Amino acid sequence: MAETGPPPAETKPFAAEVSRLLHLMVHAVYSNRDVFLRELISNAADACERLRLRALDEPTLVAGDPEFRITLIADRERGTLAVEDNGIGMDREALADNLGTIARSGTRAFLDAAGDSGGALIGQFGVGFYSAFMVAREVEVFSRPVGAAEAWRWASDGKGAFTVEAVDPALAPARGTRVVLHLADDAKDYAEAATVERIVAQYSAHVPVPVVLRLSAEATKTLADGSALWRKPKASIDARDYAEFYHHVSGQYDDPAMTLHFRAEGRQEYSALLFVPSMKPLDLFHPERKGRIKLYVRRVLITDDVDILPPWLRFVRGVIDSEDLPLNLSREMLQTNPILAQIGKGATNRLLGELERIAKDEPETFVKVWDAFGAVIKEGLYEEPSRRDALLALARFRTTTSSDGLRSLADYVAALRPNQTAIYYALGASPEAILASPQLEGFARRDIEVLLLSDPVDAFWVRTALGYDGKPFHSVTQGAADLAAIPVAGDEPQPTADRPTDSAIAVLAARMKQALGDRVSDVRASQRLAGSPVCLVAHDAAADLRLERLLAGHESAPPRRAPILEINPDHALIGALAARAASSGDAAAAVDDAAFVLLAEARILDGERPDDPADFARRLDRLLAQSLG
């Protein structure tokens, strides 16, 4: 059967996520709606840059119209604003896919983070094309893919469905896309040339494609010249220019915490304009761990989908523009290209150098960076051993003595106590949870600083790091804490008159061990306790209690060893139990119940549950009945 005419118009529902996003857009009480324009201009610029790349191989594609540009048409009479580009264009499928679903992981993360409100987040993260519905009651997209005879129209009122249909090519740009916004009554101001001019100057002055405003059929006014900011001399650029360009490349509207702009001229020649955000990108901990640096070759955008920087710098945004790479790099070649690898290494060196400088010269800025991205940078501690020392020098920690601030390992080592030879750390879910651990008491009593490691990544690097400045890392729950050599701060507590003798403690420990069986691998007197009667520590051969728990269940996990229960000879309860253990009959039987209850107590303080809650309850009840009876 012969084709007869174009396919009919097709109406499709938005993907569920899009509907949610649109709902947020329309209902958000968000004051700065101007951001929709930079999203549309960004898309138009992307479309031009993608065609610029394709035209390298096929120059005829752009032969009739080689100058890329973005044209804005504000029509006050009609109440419309159009954003037009002569970029790559979209066909029927592309329109339905790109403007009907959500492809970006960042936008999906946005939806997850936004919950039902979203208003606050809308000002901070760009949500792309759909932000047009903040100001438009209807959006029409006319598009004609490069080299195609047919043109398409996409239209929607943003209320759940969109339509795609073939359209008379005369209504579409000769090449590329025109997005026409039919402005809502309260947004008619965006049809004013002056408003458009102001917004472009404020938000889009440095997109790498020229932006012009059409004033009449003949006259246009250039609002942005489309030059590559990263190639301009630093002296000609101010912080506002940088911030605005950062918004364009990152799709994030915070101000960069750090800006690094340089031109490398050694073995590889390239320009780099790199930013460290001040706000965490929403997909920072997405399992893909992808970076988003835009790779240019001699001003042509090649991709933003290749990892130039290591994954532990994936929060860095910006542009790297190489003079040396060939323009016709395939994806596979990009993954393994040695020039690109060298550029990545060089840029990483520069970034670390700048972070070191800021750590020294602008400590407040550095703390902000570390608060936002320290957990990511620390991944480098075990992924890139050759950078470990540099990264350890940058690392900042909450510690038992840091109060609200952060401490470096250099600070830590400078404050070592007499005879202290290790850097002590404690792992836990949060600094607060760690601070409540009984294992820290003996350290506090000796004024020994302990690193509070509460990022999930900490358990991994701390195991492989050899140490800092010759001092090994040592967990407070690891093996025997050799604290005896380190003097107690302040007055040595006077041994109480009824402190049990060492041999009485040994008898008690043996009795408890016998009662608990293989639930513990040992019961012994502790140096790390002060106010608490008991705590758990890892088997001497194991690294750390919490780490063992984290690894448990993983295939590669070493066999778990029962922990050691440490008892505090200075605690009145332990004293009383030692006295019981020395007697015989019923009096001593209570020691067994107490052993189980104390083991459960130690587990609870570690954030665990008693092994056998029913047994725990029974024994606790029996002890209470005895003491109250």
Q: State which of positions 234-293 bind ligand ADP (CB under 6 A).
A: none
The entry of ligand ADP, Mg ion, none that residue 609 binds, CB within 5 to 8 Å by partner kind: none
Q: How far apart (Å, rounded) are the C-alpha atoms in residues 137 and 191?
A: 14
* Residue showing the smallest CB distance to ligand ADP in the complex: 128
| Cα 207 to chain centroid, rounded | 26
Dihedral of CA atoms 222, 248, 236, 200 in degrees, nearest 10, equals: 30
CB of 175 to ligand ADP, least distance (A): 11
Binding-site size for Mg ion (CB under 5 A) equals 3
Q: Which of 79, 89, 118, 128 lies at the binding interface for Mg ion (CB under 5 A)?
A: 128
Nearer to Mg ion, 128 or 563 (CB): 128
CB of 119 to ligand ADP, least distance (A): 19
333 three-state secondary structure: helix
CB of 17 to ligand ADP, least distance (A): 12
Instruction: Report how far apart, in Å, the C-alpha atoms of 41 and of each of 101, 103, 179 are.
Output: 20, 19, 10
Does 129 participate in binding ligand ADP (rule CB under 6 A)? yes
Site string for ligand ADP, 85-124 (x = CB under 6 A): x-xx-x-------xx----x--------------------
Nearer to ligand ADP, 19 or 98 (CB): 98
Number of CB atoms found within 10 A of residue 124's CB? 14
Q: How far apart (Å, rounded) are the C-alpha atoms in residues 403 and 422?
A: 21
Nearer to ligand ADP, 61 or 504 (CB): 61
Does 198 participate in binding ligand ADP (rule CB under 6 A)? no
Contact partners, residue 475, CB within 8 Å, separation at least 6: 424, 425, 426, 427, 462, 538, 543, 544, 545, 547
Q: State which of positions 435-494 bind ligand ADP (CB under 6 A).
A: none
Q: State which of positions 164-193 bind ligand ADP (CB under 6 A).
A: 177
335 three-state secondary structure: helix
Nearer to ligand ADP, 88 or 523 (CB): 88
CB-side exposure of 496: number of CA atoms within 13 Å? 12
Closest among 262, 92, 218, 229 to 163, alpha carbons compared: 92
Binding-site size for ligand ADP (CB under 6 A) equals 15
End-to-end CA distance of the chain: 98
CB of 128 to Mg ion, least distance (A): 4
The entry of Mg ion, ligand ADP, none that residue 477 binds, CB within 5 to 8 Å by partner kind: none
CB of 101 to ligand ADP, least distance (A): 9
Q: Which of 24, 33, 43, 458 lies at the binding interface for Mg ion (CB under 5 A)?
A: 43
Specify whether the CB–CB gap between 520 and 600 falls below 8 A.
no
The entry of Mg ion, ligand ADP, none that residue 47 binds, CB within 5 to 8 Å by partner kind: ligand ADP
Q: State which of positions 23-62 bind ligand ADP (CB under 6 A).
A: 39, 43-44, 46-47
534-537 vs 450-453, strand pairing mode? unpaired
CB of 305 to Mg ion, least distance (A): 15
Scanning 127-135, 429-437, 503-511, 532-540 for contacts with Mg ion by CB under 5 A, the matching segment is: 127-135
Closest among 477, 490, 502, 498 to 571, alpha carbons compared: 498
Structure tokens at 81: 């604003």
Q: How far apart (Å, rounded) are the C-alpha atoms in residues 11 and 153?
A: 12
Nearer to ligand ADP, 47 or 302 (CB): 47
Nearer to ligand ADP, 179 or 260 (CB): 179
DSSP output for 253-313: -S--SEEEEEEEESSSEEEEEEEE-SS--TTTT-TT----PEEEETTEEEES-S--S-GGG
Does 82 participate in binding ligand ADP (rule CB under 6 A)? no
Nearer to ligand ADP, 104 or 609 (CB): 104
CB of 72 to ligand ADP, least distance (A): 13
Q: Can you say whether residue 541 is alpha, beta or left, with left for phi > 0 and alpha for psi between -120 and 50 degrees? A: alpha
Site string for ligand ADP, 532-571 (x = CB under 6 A): ----------------------------------------
> In 320-356, which positions are buried (b, 16+ CB within 10 angstroms) versus exposed (e)?
bbbeebeeebeeeebeebeebebbbebbbeebbebbe
The entry of Mg ion, ligand ADP, none that residue 86 binds, CB within 5 to 8 Å by partner kind: none
CB of 6 to ligand ADP, least distance (A): 21
* Residue showing the smallest CB distance to Mg ion in the complex: 128
Dihedral of CA atoms 555, 601, 520, 614 in degrees, nearest 10, equals: -80
**Which residues are near Mg ion by CB under 5 A?**
42-43, 128
**Which residues are near ligand ADP by CB under 6 A?**
39, 43-44, 46-47, 85, 87-88, 90, 98-99, 104, 128-129, 177
